[in-house]
Amino acid sequence: MIKLLFRRIGILFFFWVVSSCAYDELEMSEPIDCESVTFTATILPIISTSCAITGCHVPGTGRQNFMDNNTIKNNAEEIEERTQIRDMPRRGSLTQKQIDQIACWVDNGAPLN
């Protein structure tokens, strides 16, 4: 009886894990109005909360200092590439909307507006 109970719990757990992973892959992003994406209002908050954090892209880590706006701009294409392949950020993750906003910003020439 106990074996059967554990087997059923195991099967339920397996389906829960599989279904939760499948849901993550189906994350839908709302369309982005690229004209509304600005460095100050859109990109800088993403960088400040996900990249320019303790131990990552701040002075003294040996990595690019993303507390400097010009450094962010100079690395815009790499930021886009690394977020698109979800290689960055290493801690946490960006939403598809944030990734799309970064792409819009880079496609618009990465202005510091």
Q: Tell me the domain boundaries of the chain.
A: 31-107
Answer whether 75's CB lies under 8 Å from 69's CB: no
- Whether this prediction's pTM lies above 0.75 is answered by no
Judge contact between 35 and 97, C-beta under 8 A: no
For residue 44, give the 3-state DSSP assignment: helix
- Going from the first residue of the chain to its last (113 residues), give the mean pLDDT of each consecutive group of 10, the final group possibly shorter: 62 57 54 94 97 94 95 97 95 95 97 96
Give residue 30's pLDDT: 77
